[in-house]
């Protein structure tokens, strides 16, 4: 069989997702100043930045791997570990903090046995904290799978996280087709 895919550049192991990263790199003409945007695209496709992936980006942009690694570790939005299936981010910025975000984090940590930044062993939930989401008037704020939740309480958030994790959740499906993490970041 004639393998048409041979002309699509990609990864030696044949993972097609690398070709999608390459498409972005080609579109931006291998510009080194596009490194951050390229990493955004790569992370949107893969969910996190593995060493393999960073090495691939470095090769394609003709940058030293150390530069790619240093940029990936400098910015908070880049994840070097695979995230869980569902995400819960609690804002711990000042306004949220004084209005009790700490006890929300504490409640969730105790319930799921997680420190902020960790993922449950079954890979279902990642708990994170953010410094400030710029929604100080809605404090305390959490983000559940990309949707901002205002005026949170420890019990309320716990319940919402439970429903997020429960496959038979009664939560209505979001009508908005464009969820924040659907990979449309690329221009």
Partner 1 sequence: MATTLTPILSEFWDEPESWTLRTYESHGGYQALRTALARKPEEIVDLVKASGLRGRGGAGFPAGLKWSFLPAPDGGPRYLVVNADESEPGTCKDIPLLMASPQTLLEGMVIACYAIRAERAFVYLRGEVVHVYRRLLRALEEARGAGYVGRNILGSGFDLEIVMHAGAGAYICGEETALLDSLEGRRGQPRLKPPFPAVAGLYSRPTVVNNVESIASVPSIVHNGPDWFQDMGTERSTGFGLFSLSGHVKRPGQYEAPLGITLRELLDMAGGLRDGNELKFWTPGGSSTPLFTAEHLDVPLDFESVAAAGSMLGTRALQIFDHTTCVVRAVLRWMEFYQHESCGKCTPCREGTYWMTQVLRSLEAGEGSPEDLDKLLDVCDNVLGRSFCPLGDGATSCVTSSLQYFRDEYLSHLTHGGCPFDPMESTLFAGASA
Contact between 105 and 90 under an 8 Å Cβ cutoff? The reply is: yes
- For residue 87, list its beta bridge partners: 126
Question: Closer CB to partner 1, residue 131 or residue 163?
Answer: 131
Per CB under 8 A, the list member of 4, 76, 121, 177 interacting with partner 1 is 76
Write the interaction track for partner 1 spanning residues 89-118; mark x where CB under 8 A is met and - where it is not. ---xxxx-xxxx-xx---------------
**By CB under 8 A, residue 81 contacts partner 1:** no
Site for partner 1 in 39-68 (CB under 8 A): 39-40, 67
Write the interaction track for partner 1 spanning residues 138-177; mark x where CB under 8 A is met and - where it is not. -xx-----x----x-xxx----------------------
Sign of CA dihedral 117, 89, 163, 48: negative
Torsion region of 72: left, alpha or beta (phi above 0 gives left; psi -120 to 50 gives alpha): alpha
**By CB under 8 A, residue 23 contacts partner 1:** no
Sign of CA dihedral 72, 31, 44, 148: positive
């Amino acid at each position: 069989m004639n393998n048409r895919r041979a002309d699509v550049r990609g990864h030696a192991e044949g993972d097609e997702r690398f070709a999608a990263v390459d498409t972005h790199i080609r579109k931006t003409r291998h510009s080194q100043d596009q490194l951050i945007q390229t990493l955004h695209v790569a992370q949107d496709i893969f969910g996190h930045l593995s060493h393999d992936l960073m090495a691939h980006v470095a090769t394609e942009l003709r940058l030293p791997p150390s530069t790619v690694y240093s940029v990936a570790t400098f910015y908070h939005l880049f994840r070097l570990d695979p995230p869980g299936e569902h995400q819960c981010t609690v804002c711990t910025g000042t306004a949220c903090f004084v209005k009790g975000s700490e006890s929300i984090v504490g409640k969730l940590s105790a319930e799921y046995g997680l420190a902020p930044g960790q993922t449950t062993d079954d890979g279902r939930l990642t708990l994170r904290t953010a410094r400030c989401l710029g929604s100080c008037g809605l404090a305390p704020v959490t983000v559940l799978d990309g949707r901002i939740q205002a005026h949170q309480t420890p019990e309320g958030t716990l319940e919402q996280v439970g429903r997020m994790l429960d496959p038979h959740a009664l939560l209505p499906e979001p009508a908005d087709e464009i969820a924040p993490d659907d990979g449309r970041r690329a221009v």
